[in-house]
Amino acid sequence: MPDIGGLQLLPETRKRIEVNVPGQNKFLIFSFVFILVVLSIYVVIRFYQNSLEQASASIDGQLATIERSRDKASEDKLINLSKQLATINPLLAGHLIWSDAFTKVQSLTLPQIQYETLDTNFDSKKFLFKALAASYTTVAKQIAAFYSSDAFTDVALDKVSSQPSGRVEFTLELSFDPSKFLLEAPSK
C-alpha cells in the first residue's frame, strides 16, 4: 500500500523514533537515593529518640522510687543535728579538759606531797594548792618538778610553815597554759 499522506498503519513498516535526553534517568535515581537517605536518617533519629525517652522514663522511675523511700523526718533531724554540731564544735575546740590538767598535776606531784585543798580558776589560769610535805627540800623539789613542765608557766610559793608534827605546810600558786589542755579541734 502506498503511503497516503505520510500515514503508515502497518506495524512492520513503522519506524521507531528514539530521543535520548542525556541525564534523564540520573535525576530520578538521585531523587530516590536522596529520599532513601532522608528516610533512613529519620528512622535512626526516631529510634534514638525512643531509646532516650525510655532511658529517661527508667531514670524517672528510679528517682520516684528513691523519693518514696526517703524519710523526710529523719532527714530534717539530721540537718538540724548537723547545724547544732557546727555551732558546738567551736565551743568544744576552746574547752579546757580538766581531767588532762589534773592528770598532769598528779604525774608531777612527788610521793611525799599530800594535798589538803585544791582550787582552780580558769579566768586567772591558776591552780592554788595547800599541801603538806615531808621537808623543805621536798617543797623545793616539787616546785622544780612543776617548772620542768611546759604546761605550767609560773610557780609561786605563797606561804611555808613548819608543823609540830615535823611536816611542812605550804601554799602554792601554779599558773598554767590553757592551750596545753584544750580539746583538739575536730578534723574536717
CA 23, 28, 31 angle in degrees (round to 5)? 125
Q: Count the residues in the chain.
A: 188
pTM for the model stands at 0.48
pLDDT at position 171 is: 93
pLDDT at position 18 is: 66
pLDDT at position 45 is: 95
| Inter-residue contact 172 to 131 (CB < 8 Å) | yes
| Inter-residue contact 169 to 161 (CB < 8 Å) | yes
Q: Where are the chain's structural domains?
A: 25-59, 98-179
Task: Note the pLDDT tens digit of each residue in 130-157.
Answer: 999 989 999 999 989 988 888 888 888 8
Greater pLDDT, 186 or 14: 14
CATH of domain 98-179: 3.30.1360.100
Candidates 119, 134, 131; CA nearest to 169 is: 131
Q: Distance of alpha carbon 49 from its chain centroid, rounded?
A: 38
Task: Note the pLDDT tens digit of each residue in 69-86.
Answer: 888 888 889 999 988 888
